[in-house]
Structure 1
Amino acid sequence: MIDLQVVALCVTAALAIGVFLRQRRRSLPPGPKGIPVLGNVFDIPKEFEWIAYDRWSREYRSDVIYLNLAGTPVVVVNSAQAAHELFEKRSLLYSDRVRLPMLNELVGCNWHFLFMDYGDDWRERRRVFHQFFHSNASVGYRPRELKVARELLSRLLESPDDFMTHLRHMAGSLILGVTYGIDVQPSNDPYIATAETALHAISMAGNAGAYLVDYIPILKYVPSWFPGAAFKRQAAEWKKATDAMLERPFKAVTQAMAEGKAHPSMIASLLTELKEDEDKDRKEKVFSGVAAAAYTGGSDTTVSALGSFFLAMLLYPDIQRKAQIEVDRVVGRDRLPDFSDEPSLPYVTALVKEVLRWRPVTPLAVPHRLTSDDVYNGYHLPSGSIVVGNVWAILHDERTFPDPEAFVPERWLNEDGSLRSDMRDAELAAFGFGRRICPGRYMAVASVWIGIASVLSTFDLLKPRDANGHIIEPSGDYYSGLVTYPKPFRCAFKPRSESTVELIHNGLQESD
């Protein structure tokens, strides 16, 4: 005969577990309800996910929301306050990365320390990177940044319709020179062409929520020919580009060093300093991955931000004129800006900050991973959750940035035109959070600043006209991905004076 006390104990335990699970579910952050098994898989749009996350945050009146992606818990952080509390104050819990099978395994980016677990491998690579790109070290690259900015002016003068190509060449020339000592070709450079494909692959594959295989990892074993496995075929093509970006420039440096022809660079310095008792093969693997990571980060920021700057100047011509007035007053019309002018150009600096805020380069930060159960504002955050910082929502929060869709550099300035101390670093969310913030941000911002100041000094950016004299309006649309870029638009670059051509040519010679 069954012991009634055992039955009662089992029933009580079952009821207690049920109550606990219901209470735990109720204590999770709010979010869309979803469907059985798959949860919110079909609720998340395939593009511009950050817009949906921001909308849900408003609907549920919570700066953190919860999603269930086929059993994988996802927490989206939508405010600067929540981001600071979780990623900064509790960084020990929130500094790990989510392993994305599409990016890390199928596309083959397991060498990229941006996407590595928070552990010894990441720390080693982060130290190597920091050695060459911390704030003081980055100042040493300003002569090269000035040179590529002036090369950009020359290219815009010669073929203005290809301005996005020129931005990619500018970014590629800078970072390939710094990391590998490679002088790129004036056009159709093979390193830049390979990297462009690889950067697109990383942008698409690294976007949280973009591929179902990231939440149902067993799908990575599906044969490429299987219906619905287009992601496998795409990944195979992208892997060719990421492998080439990792290997080819590194091999070029080692060959140049063997021949005694290598230019000074990060890789040359690292290889020269290798000690005999160190594992050469392992160290070379570390160095090549760090160099390739430097290329992806620096290139993305420069191309995206300067593309957004060009677009903003078409949409807000009054702001362009205000910035040019400041440049003319400080720099004059008989020379080009350089970095010594930066303290005297607060409006230009405010404009750079507004570009990074208005159209952030990475609207969703690279996802973090929560390593232990946590509680925020009374909400239970489960261990193992993917934690996504919604950069877009943070930089479009009306409480900090009134009328956030408008491009308003003045929001960063006091009434006397000086930079607001209470807004210092408010745009930093554009570079990620906590211990995983972009370590190359100093060089990236400097490159964007000198590029913007140089263009303002020499060109009027105008909406072009068609054959009938009608103004061609830019769509203002963007590509969706881990990194966003403006969709193609037309822009006229009109030299600001008759002496501009001579000024650009002389400035380019001075920077050599």
Structure 2
Amino acid sequence: MADRHVVGFILVASGLLIFNHLLKKKKNGLEPPPLPPGPTPLPLLGNILNIKTDEPWVTYTQWGATYGNIVYSRAFGQEVIIINSENVAKALMEKRSHNYSDRPRLATILPFGWDYNTGFQPYADQWRLHRRCLHQAFRENAVAYFRPMQLRKARQLCIDILGDKSQFHDCDVQGVELVSHIQTLAASIIMSATYDYETAPSHDPLVHIVERALDLAIKFMTPEKAALLGVLPILLHLPDWFPGSVKNEATLSQKYSDDMVDMPYQYAVKSIAAGTAGRCMVSETKLEDETGSQRILLEKALKDSAATAFVAGAETTASTLLVFVLMMVLNPRVQEKAQAEIDLVVGNARLPDFTDRPSLPYVDAILRETLRWFPVVPLGMPRVAGVADVYEGYRIPQGAILIPNAWGMSRDEAKYPNASEFVPERFINADGELKDDTVVHSFGFGRRICPGRHLADASLWAGMVSMLTVFKFMKCKDQAGNDMDVHPQWTSGLTSYPRFPCRIVPRIPGLDREALINLIRSSDGV
């Protein structure tokens, strides 16, 4: 009997001790905080079946409306944190940048030949060399050198669009040609700034090398598709005819990426050796200042980051300009207001240049609203949590992928009322001056903010103001002469841009190619 009492006492005492330990643990905050709220994941698959595959940013924004600005989800075995607020993104990726500056090791990067890309580099010494090369060439006070070139190429875009006036009644032709002309502009600017390479007006061989690499690989560079390949790496080895196989795409992408990195760089190296190279990213990086292994590392970083500059600059600039034209077609009031401002400041005897920019705030407001209305990298670039963290009472697990949903941030009704509407006036204050909001979510956050943003801003402004000066962009008309509805088709992948038919009409009566060239020649700042 005594033994039973002793055993009972021990059990009760043990229970009290355990209870007391758990109570202290809770009081001391030792129990892990909860994960952020989010949709219930399925076993193994996670939330992958709930995501709209062609527009995942829309799904994530809908989740944000239900669960809040920070949402937890799973993609197969990978934990994913969706950030739908610019303030949350800044709090984590800027104020805690030491923990959120790394990139996830996406399973698609190496097999598709994108391990060269600065955007996917781990947060380490090699990435710092990349940033050194990019910052030296494209820092804010350095890119002013490229403005005459950017203006010249923006005006060449207008000449190319003007083309043969006999095509001006065929909306489908104009829509297709517009994409080609704008992509040529964007590629031409960044090839010049990076390699001092002058592209051909069309079918340029080096541009073709880059375009084929981009077209094949960019649709695979998303966390969702990387998660699938991470779980099923056998997809890289299955025969081409097997459903889901990516073997052929990966093999071609690897080859195309190698060509894209090497061939333009070799062109620049030969120009430098011959003494004919102008100022550009490759020529401005002084390899001769380094020796031994450090020089080898720097040259690889230069070659890889130069290719990154071209890929990122060409794709995002062209995509943003296409969004701009779409918005002009859909918002004739905005277009007319901008053109009235240009006419008032510049007149009709010349085209605008960068000295006019401070006097054209509405054009700048259109630029910002274009970036805001549809960020062409809708999900930004993913980050990874270096160590476990707690934010606003929620646990962020170590190794979780963080996706800054730029599209969701653009739809923040608290910051941008009537966010689905295109309203440049939201960036103009009562005195007619530009507000401080520069739409930062379009270029990223913290230590991994886009290093080419200053060059991109100037390229976009030059393209927009030149096209607004020369053309009207309008809806197509049906056989009865009525405006037709516009239903743009959006591409999907890491970037997205619209395809749509439109009418493009010269604003200046009697303007033809020769008259436009003469107008450009008579303009200041060329």
TM-score norm. by structure 2 comes to 0.88
The corresponding residue for 1:498 is 509
The one-letter code matched in structure 1 to 2:458 is: A
2:61 to 51, 54, 57: 54
Alignment of 1:232-271 (within 5 A): 232-270=247-285
Equivalent in the alignment of 2:3 = none
SS of match in other structure, 2:225:
coil
Change (3 A) 1:307 1:327: same
Say if 2:76 is the partner of 1:70.
yes
* Residue equivalent to 1:168: 183
| Correspondence for 1:100 | 106
User: Where does structure 1 lack aligned partners over 5 or more consecutive residues?
Assistant: none
CA offsets per residue over residues 107-138 of structure 1, 9 Å max, x none? 11111111111111111110111000011111
Deviation at 1:261, TM superposition (A): 4.1
| Among 407, 426, 442, the residue aligned to 1:430 | 442
CA contact (8 A) 1:101 1:220 kept: no
Q: After the TM superposition, which of the residue ranges 402-411 and 235-244 deviates more from structure 2?
A: 235-244
CA change 1:227–1:120 in 2 (3 A) is same
Kindly state the Cα deviation for residue 482 of structure 1 after the two structures are TM-superposed: 1.1
3-state SS of paired residue (2:49): coil
Q: Aligned partners of 2:466 and 2:198: how far apart in 1? A: 22
Q: Is the 8 A contact 1:213 1:219 kept in 2?
A: no
> What does 1:423-502 align with in structure 2 at a 5 Å threshold?
424-425=437-438, 427-467=439-479, 469-486=481-498, 488-498=499-509, 500-501=511-512
Deviation at 1:468, TM superposition (A): 5.2
Contact 1:150 1:504 in 2 (8 A): no
Give the Å deviation of 1:263: 4.0
Q: Which residue of 2 aligns with 1:347?
A: 362
Q: Hey, what's the Cα distance between the residues in 2 that align with 1:130 and 1:98?
A: 23
1:206·1:482 contact (CA, 8 Å) conserved in 2? yes
- Preserved contact between residue 104 and residue 401 of structure 2 (Cα < 8 Å): yes
Q: Are 2:400 and 1:385 equivalent residues in the alignment?
A: yes
Task: Determine which of 12, 26, 29 is the counterpart of 2:36.
Answer: 29
Whether the aligned pair in 2 keeps the contact of 1:206 and 1:366 (CA below 8 Å) is no
User: Where does 1:150-189 land on structure 2 (aligned, <5 Å)?
Assistant: 150-158=155-163, 161=174, 162-189=177-204
Q: What is the Cα-based RMSD across aligned positions, in Å?
A: 2.8
**Residue of structure 2 in register with 1:417 after alignment:** 432
What displacement does 1:186 show?
1.6
Deviates more, 1:294-303 or 1:40-49: 40-49
Aligned length: 499
- After TM superposition, the structure 1 = structure 2 runs for residues 136-151 of structure 1, keeping only pairs within 5 Å, are 136-151=141-156
The worse-fitting range, judged by mean Cα deviation, of 356-365 and 408-417 is: 408-417
Over 3 Å counting, the alpha-carbon distance change for 1:262 and 1:428 in structure 2 is same
* C-alpha spacing 1:221/1:191, structure 2 compared with 1 (3 Å): closer
Structure 1 CA distance, aligned partners of 2:274 and 2:143?
29
Secondary structure in 2 matching 1:141: helix
User: Residue type of the partner of 1:209?
Assistant: E
Q: Following the alignment from structure 1 to structure 2, what is the Cα–Cα distance between the partners of residues 79 and 442? A: 24
Q: Distance in 1 between matches of 2:118 and 2:130?
A: 6
Classify the secondary structure of the residue corresponding to 1:91.
Answer: coil
- 8 A Cα contact 2:101 2:383, kept in partner: yes
The 5-angstrom pairing of residues 214-293 of structure 1 reads 214-216=229-231, 218-219=233-234, 222-225=237-240, 227-270=242-285, 273-277=288-292, 279-293=294-308
Cα 1:389/1:214, change in 2 over 3 Å: farther
In the aligned structure 2, how far is the partner of 1:224 from the partner of 1:123? 39
Say which SS state the counterpart of residue 92 (structure 2) adopts: helix
**2:362 aligned with 1:362:** no
The AA in structure 2 aligned to 1:77 is: I
1:209 and 2:224 are equivalent in the alignment: yes
Aligned to 2:171: none
The SS at the match of 1:75 is strand
Moved more, 213-222 or 172-181: 213-222
Note if contact 2:36-2:72 (Cα within 8 Å) is conserved in structure 1: yes
One-letter amino acid of the structure 2 residue matched with residue 474 of structure 1: V
**Contact in 1 for aligned 2:33/2:393 (Cα 8 Å):** no
Which of 104, 115, 128 matches 1:110?
A: 115
The one-letter code sitting in structure 2 at the alignment partner of 1:477 is Q
Q: 1:296 to 1:373 in 2, by over 3 A?
A: same
Question: Is the Cα contact below 8 Å between 2:472 and 2:507 reproduced in 1?
Answer: yes
Distance 1:138 1:414 in 2: 28
Match of 2:386 in 1: 371
Q: What is the match of residue 122 of structure 1?
A: 127
Given that residues 38 and 73 in structure 2 are in contact (C-alpha distance below 8 angstroms), is that contact kept between their aligned partners in structure 1?
yes
**Bigger CA drift: 297-306 or 316-325?**
297-306
Cα distance change on mapping 1:30 and 1:24 into 2, 3 Å = farther
Deviation (angstroms), 1:280: 4.8
The percentage of aligned residue pairs carrying the same residue is: 36
Deviation for aligned residue 1:221: 5.7
Secondary structure, aligned partner of 2:98: helix
Structure 2 unaligned regions, length at least 5: 1-6, 169-173
**Aligned residue number for residue 88 of structure 2:** 82
Whole-Å Cα distance in 1 between the matches of residues 103 and 423 of structure 2? 34
Distance change >3 Å, CA 140–CA 256, structure 1 → 2: closer
Measure, in 1, the Cα distance between the counterparts of 2:125 and 2:248: 33
* 2:46 corresponding residue in structure 1: 39
- Asked whether the 8 Å contact 1:369–1:387 carries over to 2, the reply is yes
Structure 1 moving runs of 4+ over 6 Å: 23-26
CA distance in 1, matches of 2:421, 2:118: 35
In the alignment, what sits opposite 2:206? Answer: 191
Corresponding residue number in structure 2 for 1:405? 420
Task: With the length of structure 1 as denominator, give the TM-score of the two structures.
Answer: 0.90
User: Measured at CA, do residues 261 and 340 of structure 1 come closer, stay the same or move farther in structure 2, by a change above 3 Å?
Assistant: closer
Deviation at residue 498 of structure 1 after TM alignment: 2.6
- SS of residue matched to 1:455: helix
1:190 shift after superposition: 1.2
Does the 8 Å CA contact 2:313/2:456 hold for their aligned counterparts?
yes
